[in-house]
Amino acid sequence: MVALGFGKQVWDVPPSGLLEMPLPILVRTTFHYMALAWSKTAFGVTLLRLTEGWMRRVVWLIIISVNIVIGVSALLVWLQCSPIQLLWNPLLKGTCWPPNVILNSNFFSGGERFTRLPVYLGYPH
């Protein structure tokens, strides 16, 4: 990635890097979402071992909602352009969603995770 120009200003990236860099970045983004979901799920599973009753059901609800919201966010990254190859090859003909669709999805996803925080922090130890 560094050899392609990753980490440089866009005007310092060689032209070949501009066409080769997007696909690895998209794959990295997908793995980032997976790691985010797994880390939240792992913490939830830890809480499952410490909870019972209604709090345990709340933790299950949070685990499920985390995986749904983050999974949809990861999927939207790949579905935003048609054909999908347009994501990494801007020379192709096709259409993409307006950038604010993904941005708003990410805002929702981050906000959803933030609103769960009081539940995690409010658990009586």
Position with higher pLDDT, 95 vs 111:
95
Position with higher pLDDT, 113 vs 61:
61
Tens-place pLDDT, residues 43-100: 889 989 988 898 899 889 889 988 998 899 899 989 999 999 998 888 899 999 998 8
Q: In whole angstroms, what is the distance from residue 118 CA to residue 17 CA?
A: 43
Whole-number pLDDT of residue 25? 86
Predicted TM-score (pTM) of this structure: 0.73
Tens-place pLDDT, residues 26-42: 899 899 999 988 998 99
- Reduced to 3 states (helix: H, G, I; strand: E, B; else coil), residue 85 is helix
Contact 72, 105 (CB under 8 A): yes
Q: In whole angstroms, what is the distance from residue 96 CA to residue 86 CA?
A: 8
Contacts of 44 (CB under 8 A, 6+ apart): 59, 60, 62, 63, 66
